[in-house]
Chain A
Amino acid sequence: MNTLLQISGLKKQFGGVIATDDVNLEVTKGELHAIIGPNGAGKTTLISQLSGAVRPDSGTITFKGSNITNRPAHARAQLGITRSFQITSLIMSMSVLDNVALAVQAHDGHSFKLFKPARKITHLRKNALQFLQQVGLENRADDPASALSHGEHRQLELAVALASSAEMMMLDEPMAGLGPEESATMINFLKTLKGQKTILLIEHDMDAVFALADRISVLVYGKIIATGKPDEIRFNDDVRHAYLGEE
């Protein structure tokens, strides 16, 4: 088996709330693994522990065979893990293209280069523009990120994640707040990414999840209650009880 990411015994508690409760999970190279679960189940907290934004109380995270549990966020990004944010987290004062170019630049050697104008470095700009084209934002390249609509912010979040050229992308509700049409575009786009990248997808939209995922894990109150192929999850009794809310 070709494991890219392994989580074992992960725990995180916020005061009285157990956000992550002894989570064990393996993500295989190249799969699209969806994590579903009700509001407040601890999906975002899980991703934040994987990206390094939140420190777990205990447990280990292994990526490509090395223990990264205590690595800072920027070191994990350099190793090839990136995330998008459920609540858009961009550099609003900079242009749309600058936002993506910074992601490209992060993997183009160190940035202690103090003299040459960064906006005139063609390969940074060209690559960044390509990622904007992929998500369909190229015509907004020179606008400040703050000027984009909510839907466009979601697209830009995705473009930035793509530009990080990470092996594993963790997408936190990329479709949150999108209209039906925009969602359909996003689903189609994620389909084109399948196989090229390992993707950990958090999503509430069940149609999207069942259309996209190779495997699904169900998180309830910080615990993973089931992991399996979409059909196994769809017909799993525990899941129907605890989450899909049937009978």
Chain B
Amino acid sequence: MNTIGKITIAGMLILAIVPPVLLLSGQAFYMDLATRLVILGIGAVSLNLILGFGGMVSFGHAAFIGLGAYAVGIPAYHATYGEFEMVASYNGLLHIALAVGFSALFALITGAISLRTKGVYFIMITMAFGQMAYYFFLSLDIYGGDDGLTIDVRSELPLINLDSPMQLYGLSYVSLAVAMYLVHRMVNSRFGMVLQGTKGNVERMATLGYNTYYYQLLAYVISGAMCGYAGFLLGNFTTFISPDMMHWTRSGELMFMVILGGASTALGPILGSSLFILLEEILSSFTIYWHLPFGLLLILVVLFIRGGIMGLFKNMGGSSK
């Protein structure tokens, strides 16, 4: 196994062992951090599929997190307070289906339009669609508008009790591992080769006979669906959801994580989300303007460390890929 593979396994082992041990020794706070990290990590992994491997710089990915979270919040709200009997439910499997289904649908529609554009226009239009989702939920007074919505009862799943921090973390961790595995398989498949080739040289791919649009669109839909699932977990973790989860700054944070950690590597997004959560915690204890030093740091990373943190490891390990 190469250096990168070893680092990835080591990183995942640390995440498997340290947070549960800390929780058992009474450090619930760190468990909280780790759960958020792992859930956002899934979002970052999903974004990495299209950004890192597909070269599609989506600036609206937080919309999928929000959709996933509202797929928990809205059915739970009606199960508690009545109305809309059709969707009223605490059933976690239904919530997952809604989160993944609506995210995939939203990705299909917005992706089909956005992928007609390139470069900066793609960034702008994905951001615009994200903001559309943000304002849509902002205007839904029944679900609290910008005050947000409290989830009184977490999703009910067979065998797993999401009220238990340990079990919620367990589910999130396993989900992250599965997401990483799926992305790993996909990017190395025929489909992934086409995706990476398209990132490298669209004209060449068209000349070879690939209709690159549909390959990119499928990647976009898979990525959106995966990110929607992360939203399902995040809703159950915070038990409070609001349109703020979809704001473009949240999408920017997901991008930070991917780029900071190292796009188009398996562990990069997780390293990025870890560092993001740590820095957020440390910097925000000094100043409420913590985004400023954070932004500066990101610029430094982009300028001086090609390939993010994983890029550093790669150089140290001296392995070719």
Question: Are both chains from one complex?
Answer: yes
A17 at interface by CB-CB < 8 Å: no
**B41 → chain A closest CB, angstroms:** 22
Query: Contact at B191–A51, with CB atoms within 8 Å?
Result: no
- The answer, among B188, B196, B197, B210, for a CB contact under 8 Å with A117, is B188
A72 at interface by CB-CB < 8 Å: yes
Within 8 A of A (CB), among B215-245: 215, 218
Q: How large is the interface on A (under 10, 10 to 19, 20 to 34, 35 or more residues)?
A: 35 or more
Most chain A CB neighbours (cut-off 10 Å) among B191, B197, B207, B212: B207
Which B-chain residue is minimally distant from A121 (CB atoms)? B190
Considering the chains assembled together, what is the distance between the CA atoms of A240 and B196 in angstroms?
Answer: 48
**A227 → chain B closest CB, angstroms:** 26
Query: Contact at B207–A102, with CB atoms within 8 Å?
Result: no
Considering the chains assembled together, what is the distance between the CA atoms of A219 and B41 in angstroms?
Answer: 58
Query: Contact at A114–B206, with CB atoms within 8 Å?
Result: no
* Residues of B within 8 A of A (CB-CB), count: 27
A83-B207 contact given A89-B201, A114-B186, A115-B185, CB 8 Å threshold: yes
**B181 → chain A closest CB, angstroms:** 11
Residues of A within 8 A of B206 (CB): 52-53, 72-74, 77
A106 at interface by CB-CB < 8 Å: yes
Query: What are the interface flags for B249-286 relative to A under an 8 Å C-beta threshold, 1 for contact and 0 otherwise?
Result: 00000000000000000000000000000000000000
**B118 → chain A closest CB, angstroms:** 15
Which A-chain residue is minimally distant from B199 (CB atoms)? A93
- The answer, among B191, B197, B210, for a CB contact under 8 Å with A113, is B191
- The answer, among A53, A107, A117, A118, for a CB contact under 8 Å with B207, is A53
- The answer, among B185, B204, B218, B320, for a CB contact under 8 Å with A112, is B218
B109 at interface by CB-CB < 8 Å: no
Query: Contact at B189–A117, with CB atoms within 8 Å?
Result: yes
Query: Contact at B196–A93, with CB atoms within 8 Å?
Result: yes
Residues of B within 8 A of A77 (CB): 206-209
Residues of A within 8 A of B199 (CB): 93
A91-B201 contact given A74-B211, A106-B209, CB 8 Å threshold: yes
- The answer, among A51, A116, A160, for a CB contact under 8 Å with B189, is A116
Residues of A within 8 A of B190 (CB): 105, 111, 113-114, 116, 118, 121
Residues of B within 8 A of A105 (CB): 190, 193-194
A101 at interface by CB-CB < 8 Å: yes
Within 8 A of A (CB), among B104-126: none
A93-B200 contact given A83-B207, A106-B208, CB 8 Å threshold: yes
Residues of A within 8 A of B203 (CB): 53, 73, 89
Query: Contact at A102–B193, with CB atoms within 8 Å?
Result: yes
Within 8 A of B (CB), among A80-116: 82-83, 85, 89-94, 98, 101-103, 105-107, 111-116
Query: Contact at A82–B197, with CB atoms within 8 Å?
Result: no
Residues of B within 8 A of A160 (CB): 204, 208
Could you list 14 A-B pairs, sorted by A, with CB under 8 Å?
A73-B206, A77-B207, A92-B201, A102-B197, A103-B208, A106-B210, A111-B193, A111-B215, A114-B191, A115-B185, A115-B186, A116-B189, A118-B188, A118-B192
Pairs A-B, 9 closest by C-beta atoms: A77-B209, A91-B200, A73-B206, A106-B209, A111-B190, A106-B208, A113-B190, A118-B190, A78-B209
